[in-house]
Amino acid sequence: VTELPSLVTERLAITLLQPAAAEPAAAYAAANRAYVAPWSPRRGDDYYSHDFWAVHAEQSLEEWRSGRSARFVLSLASDPACVIGECNLTEIARGYFESCYLGFSLHHRHTGRGLMTEALSALLAFAFQEMRLHRVSANYLPDNLRSERLLRRLGFRKEGLAPAYLFINGAWRDHVLTSLANPDPGFLPALAGRPA
Ligand SMILES: CC(C)(COP(=O)(O)OP(=O)(O)OC[C@H]1O[C@@H](n2cnc3c(N)ncnc32)[C@H](O)[C@@H]1OP(=O)(O)O)[C@@H](O)C(=O)NCCC(=O)NCCS
């Protein structure tokens, strides 16, 4: 994949996080701060500023270009200038792993409409078909029932409970580990068949 990706679904535009979106991305983070707090690391006030998101977007582009992550912002097709969510593929590992982590959040006013299911269906198709990944991991707090339902709807399978897995909302917290593998049964890593 060489050019900057953007995905279009029935109701959404899903675009790679770029410096031009720093303002609406910061506004989204601020508007959703309280809603995501139980499921997120604690952030300082600077996290909600334009300057933070301008730098973060530059770093994200650099990570995309070097193949380390793909961070996207979500907008309604009817209001493309406003960010209403994000979904990220991070810590991409290649070789014989071809794996990454999935993260996501949606503006509290837009939950309950299937928008994240729609976004992640497109993102996962992109991850498996275009980015040629084998495995996407997604991990959530045991009481994050909306994430649990969302991931189950998308076909993720539970792998177990990891004790004290992530430092979230001020403490090391257990997480349910789930993953989804590339549905193509014939999918091979790019390295397959090459000499070790
Ligand atoms: C996790 C999160 C994105 C899920 O949001 P969501 O609105 O439940 O997910 P979706 O957009 O896919 O919507 C699904 C809901 O809409 C309903 N829905 C309505 N129309 C739908 C449609 N066309 N397709 C699918 N679901 C639809 C579903 O029934 C479901 O509601 P239910 O769970 O009460 O049954 C959101 O709660 C969030 O941002 N949480 C905070 C951040 C967070 O926890 N991130 C993950 C950390 S691991």
Backbone angles phi, psi at 97, to 5 degrees: -105, -50
29 lines ligand 1 (CB under 6 A): no
The amino acid at residue 132 is R
For ligand 1, atom 40, the nearest C-alpha belongs to: 105
12 lines ligand 1 (CB under 6 A): no
How many angstroms separate the CA atoms of 161 and 51, rounded?
Answer: 37
Reading the block at residue 101, the tokens are 């982590």
Distance (angstroms) between ligand 1 centre and the Cα of 84 equals 13
**What average pLDDT values come out for the chain (196 residues) when binned by 10 residues?**
85 97 98 97 97 98 97 98 98 97 98 98 98 98 98 98 97 98 94 72
How many angstroms separate the CA atoms of 98 and 175, rounded?
Answer: 22
Query: pTM, whole model, 2 decimals?
Result: 0.96
9 lines ligand 1 (CB under 6 A): no
